[in-house]
A and B are shown apart, each in its own frame.
Chain A
Amino acid sequence: MTAKKVFRFVAVLLALTLVAAACGDDSTSTTDGDSTATTLSSGGADEVEVFSWWTGGGEAAGLDAMIAVFANTDPDITFVNSAVAGGAGTNARAVLASRLQANDPPDSWQGHAGQELIGTYVAADQIEPLNFLYDQEGWLDVMPETLIPLISDGGNIYSVPVNIHRANVLWTNPTVLADNGIDVPATLDDFFAALDALKAAGMDAPLAMGEQWTSMHLMETIMLASMGADGWNGLWDGSVSWDSADVTAALEAFDKVLGYTNSDASALSWQDAGQLVLDGDAAFNIMGDWAEGFYRELGMEPNVDFGWAPVPGTAGLFQFLSDSFVLAKNAPHRDAAIAWLTVAGSLEGQDAFNPVKGSIPARSDGDRSLYGEYLLSAMDDWASDTVVGSLTHGVVANDSWKSEIDSALGLFLLDRDVAAFQTALVAAQTASG
């Protein structure tokens, strides 16, 4: 080959690489999970792209169950499952944010009911009100009254909640507790006494914890236990100051609780931390009730292999979070998206999703025969308890506020300086305001 030919050959090769790279990008951004998503086509009512962070465990299984219902009710619509993996949805939200900025919204996406949706997507005018769908389907009569204000803004309802999760659950290993003669603790003081007893009995870390977001989860439940419902709610509506003595006391309690956790927390996922309790390496784990779905997937027997109670000091309080689906403004397949949302809010859809995911339906008319022992107790508590929102899971604070709290928490986990932590939390409120 002459030099010229070689040069041309290389140039063509380079051009091909560019094309290949472009194609590669497309497929990685849209395929993940079970369904194979093809590249984004424009228009047409024959598919609906639904974005979520449900890629593993009971979450993905629950979504699949609801997709199966959707396939029955709307066989003509192809369901495109654009799920992105990553703890507590942080990765997925990053992908979603860039897609929304690029004006390339999925038809519908999963979002935590509350400030996460309102503070971010409603404020940025990215989603459509769904009042018409609620009227048409009669959902206002079957969904809890306390839920509606949290998913509304200015009288407009913005999402279809498919489930209710509880954040303030203490998971226990009944065998370990029985062997050490410890009752399930009801108050924070009982909790510390139990943890001390287990430590004295030779258990290094009686309370299992995982990576950083699980420590925020632990923090919010301990703060709720210390401050009560009014104190906790006040932090978010502005009636309780972050530099008050109540907050100091709550943070000191959290600091004390951290002293009983495992040293390798940062290397563990929430599932790993839950596994420590099953294996008897720890006696307690504080995690949302999706842990129950995980335990059942492992074939564990409720009240035998694992037990549960409200986080000590939070009996009568239901710290909730709710996964909900929204309708994107300018959804590429609006009619198909509405068909999907109709299924998501239907009794059939919710009763397919929730027993598998390990959550209770947002509707109050769920078929009780479908739910296991834990979920039935949660359904009863949901009906009778005082409801408060979760921080880690997007109910009480918007994403900016939460991420500032997360930075402050990360620094606190390093230096464990309660006073500095409180100062940083005060600053977090101003920075995100």
Chain B
Amino acid sequence: MAVASAEKTARPTRKSRGNFFTLQHWWGILWVLPSLIAVMVFVYGFIGWTARVSVSAWKGLLADYTYVGFQNFTDLASDQRFAIDVQNTAIFTVVFVLGCLGLGLGLAILLDKGIRAEGFYRSLFLFPMAISFIVTGVVWRWLMNPAQGDRLSGLNLVFDKLGLDFLVNSWHGTPTWGIAAVAIPAVWQMSGYTMALYLAGLRAVPESLREAARVDGASELQVYRKVVMPLIRPVTLSAIIILGHISLKVFDLIIAMAGKQVALDVPAIYMWTTTFDGFFFGRGAAIGIVLLLSVAVLVIPYLWYTLRQESDT
């Protein structure tokens, strides 16, 4: 609502073209210029350069820009390690996004019910987000120690002491699904953030609508399913986009938890090792471009949708 009204008041000045080149506007442009140039060079310039390298034969320490077409990309398509990367990313994304949405919504609904000391709990759930993935990774590496037998430790030891032996597992050492264990700390870290998003969404739902539904005889579950959820659908969409692009780019968390191992490989790690350990710069750049495109597939329709909605109001 606030955005929409600001938009309306801003319109008249935007339309009065005659005033556009006032001194103030020149100042504005001047101030923005450094970051504009920095973004052009360091973001778009390097995207262009990476795209160029991705169609080159560059292998070794020295640059080699010999054009090889889409060779690097077709090689990736038949690369077994890259196939594992894609599979791991898919599993990680599903567990991470669904985990965050479920946990975030649950916490938000509980807080929205008017719990005492709400501010305390809100901060408590948000705090993990202030930590970097590296720190999270190191701590959870200990918690999720996969050692078996006499050397049980971390969560496995807790399970064992509580008599919950069936829960003892090898975490990220599990074949195929190990990457799902790595997603758990990521859920822990980002579900508070998702909660904050949902809480803002819930607060924006007018109480009168819920009251009306209750008067009409809707159960509490129906109030949420039929009234609240449809109204906060844009929040869910935003959360999916934000969480989804984090999961596509995940790197630090895995490195901190499990180091470099093909079992838990993702495109970002493959890109790094093949480029800097093996000096396959062409292949590394190709992986970078694939990553960029996959994030773009997620983000661009969202941006387009948001911009169109804004221009409609």
Q: Return chain B residues, CB-CB under 8 Å to A281.
A: 150-151
Complex interface residues of chain B between 254 and 277 (CB less than 8 A to chain A) = 258-265, 272-274, 276-277
Stretch at the interface among A131-139, A140-148, A329-337, A402-410: A402-410
Q: A93-B277, A414-B175 are in contact. Are A267 and B146 (CB under 8 A)?
A: yes
Residue of A nearest to B175 (CB): A414
Structural contact, A124 and B62, CB atoms closer than 8 A: yes
Structural contact, A14 and B35, CB atoms closer than 8 A: yes
Complex interface residues of chain B between 156 and 193 (CB less than 8 A to chain A) = 170, 172-173, 175
User: Is A120 an interface position by the 8 A CB rule?
Assistant: yes
Complex interface residues of chain A between 393 and 424 (CB less than 8 A to chain B) = 399-400, 402-404, 406-407, 409-411, 413-414, 424
- The prevalent SS among residues of A at the interface is helix
Residue of A nearest to B31 (CB): A11
Structural contact, B81 and A399, CB atoms closer than 8 A: no
The smallest beta-carbon distance between B71 and chain A, in angstroms, is: 12
Q: Return chain B residues, CB-CB under 8 Å to A407.
A: 81, 262, 274
Structural contact, A267 and B263, CB atoms closer than 8 A: no
Structural contact, B84 and A123, CB atoms closer than 8 A: no
Structural contact, A399 and B279, CB atoms closer than 8 A: yes
- Interface size bucket, B side? 35 or more
Q: A87-B259, A399-B278, A407-B262 are in contact. Are A15 and B172 (CB under 8 A)?
A: no
- Give A93-108 as 1s and 0s: 1 = Cβ < 8 Å from B's Cβ atoms: 1100110110000000
Structural contact, A204 and B149, CB atoms closer than 8 A: yes
Residue of A nearest to B62 (CB): A124
The smallest beta-carbon distance between A87 and chain B, in angstroms, is: 7
Structural contact, B280 and A414, CB atoms closer than 8 A: no
Structural contact, A4 and B24, CB atoms closer than 8 A: yes
Give Cα distance in the complex from A32 to B59, angstroms.
Answer: 30
Contact of A101 among B61, B175, B262, B273 (CB under 8 A): B61
Q: A410-B265, A411-B84 are in contact. Are A212 and B259 (CB under 8 A)?
A: yes
Structural contact, A403 and B259, CB atoms closer than 8 A: no
Q: How many A-B residue pairs have CB under 8 A?
A: 119
Give Cα distance in the complex from A414 to B148, angstroms.
Answer: 19
Complex interface residues of chain A between 222 and 273 (CB less than 8 A to chain B) = 262-264, 266-267
Give Cα distance in the complex from A411 to B175, angstroms.
Answer: 12
Interface centre among B145, B150, B274, B277, by most A CB within 10 Å? B277
Residue of A nearest to B276 (CB): A94
Give Cα distance in the complex from A264 to B263, angstroms.
Answer: 13
User: Is A211 an interface position by the 8 A CB rule?
Assistant: yes
The smallest beta-carbon distance between A411 and chain B, in angstroms, is: 6
Give Cα distance in the complex from A423 to B280, angstroms.
Answer: 20
Structural contact, B173 and A266, CB atoms closer than 8 A: yes
The smallest beta-carbon distance between B34 and chain A, in angstroms, is: 7
Q: A263-B148, A407-B262 are in contact. Are A124 and B278 (CB under 8 A)?
A: no
Structural contact, A120 and B259, CB atoms closer than 8 A: no
Complex interface residues of chain A between 280 and 295 (CB less than 8 A to chain B) = 281
The smallest beta-carbon distance between A278 and chain B, in angstroms, is: 13
Residue of A nearest to B277 (CB): A403
Structural contact, B262 and A413, CB atoms closer than 8 A: yes
Q: Return chain B residues, CB-CB under 8 Å to A262.
A: 147
User: Is B80 an interface position by the 8 A CB rule?
Assistant: yes
Q: A11-B31, A204-B149 are in contact. Are A266 and B280 (CB under 8 A)?
A: no
Contact of A266 among B59, B150, B263, B279 (CB under 8 A): B263
Residue of B nearest to A272 (CB): B147
Give Cα distance in the complex from A374 to B34, angstroms.
Answer: 61
User: Is A31 an interface position by the 8 A CB rule?
Assistant: no
- Give B6-27 as 1s and 0s: 1 = Cβ < 8 Å from A's Cβ atoms: 0000000000000000001000
Structural contact, A411 and B80, CB atoms closer than 8 A: yes
User: Is A126 an interface position by the 8 A CB rule?
Assistant: yes
Give Cα distance in the complex from A212 to B269, angstroms.
Answer: 14
Structural contact, B35 and A97, CB atoms closer than 8 A: no
- Give B44-63 as 1s and 0s: 1 = Cβ < 8 Å from A's Cβ atoms: 00000000000000011111
User: Is A36 an interface position by the 8 A CB rule?
Assistant: no
Give Cα distance in the complex from A100 to B276, angstroms.
Answer: 12
Structural contact, B262 and A403, CB atoms closer than 8 A: no
The smallest beta-carbon distance between B255 and chain A, in angstroms, is: 10
Q: Return chain A residues, CB-CB under 8 Å to B59.
A: 400
Residue of A nearest to B272 (CB): A94
Give Cα distance in the complex from A281 to B59, angstroms.
Answer: 43
- Give A207-231 as 1s and 0s: 1 = Cβ < 8 Å from B's Cβ atoms: 0000111000000000000000000
Contact of A212 among B35, B146, B262, B280 (CB under 8 A): B262
Contact of B278 among A14, A402, A424 (CB under 8 A): A402
Give Cα distance in the complex from A121 to B149, angstroms.
Answer: 46
The smallest beta-carbon distance between A115 and chain B, in angstroms, is: 13
The smallest beta-carbon distance between B223 and chain A, in angstroms, is: 42
Contact of A403 among B34, B263, B273 (CB under 8 A): B273
Give Cα distance in the complex from A15 to B98, angstroms.
Answer: 39
Q: Return chain B residues, CB-CB under 8 Å to A94.
A: 272, 276-277
Q: Return chain A residues, CB-CB under 8 Å to B60.
A: 120, 123-124, 400
Q: Return chain A residues, CB-CB under 8 Å to B146.
A: 263-264, 266-267
The smallest beta-carbon distance between A276 and chain B, in angstroms, is: 8
Q: A15-B34, A123-B60, A124-B61 are in contact. Are A264 and B147 (CB under 8 A)?
A: yes
Given contacts A101-B61, A264-B151, A414-B84, 18 further A-B contacts (CB under 8 A): A7-B31, A14-B35, A15-B34, A93-B276, A123-B61, A211-B260, A211-B261, A212-B262, A263-B173, A264-B170, A266-B172, A266-B264, A403-B273, A407-B274, A410-B81, A410-B263, A411-B80, A413-B263
Return 29 A-B CB contacts under 8 Å, by A number.
A8-B31, A18-B34, A18-B35, A94-B272, A94-B276, A94-B277, A101-B63, A123-B61, A124-B60, A124-B62, A126-B61, A211-B261, A212-B260, A213-B260, A264-B145, A264-B146, A264-B148, A266-B259, A266-B264, A267-B145, A400-B279, A402-B278, A403-B279, A406-B273, A410-B262, A411-B81, A413-B262, A413-B263, A414-B263
- Which B residues contact A (CB, under 8 angstroms)? 24, 28, 31, 34-35, 38, 59-63, 80-81, 84, 141, 145-151, 170, 172-173, 175, 258-265, 272-274, 276-280
Counting from the closest, the 8 A-B pairs by CB-CB distance are A410-B262, A403-B278, A94-B276, A124-B61, A264-B146, A264-B147, A11-B31, A212-B261
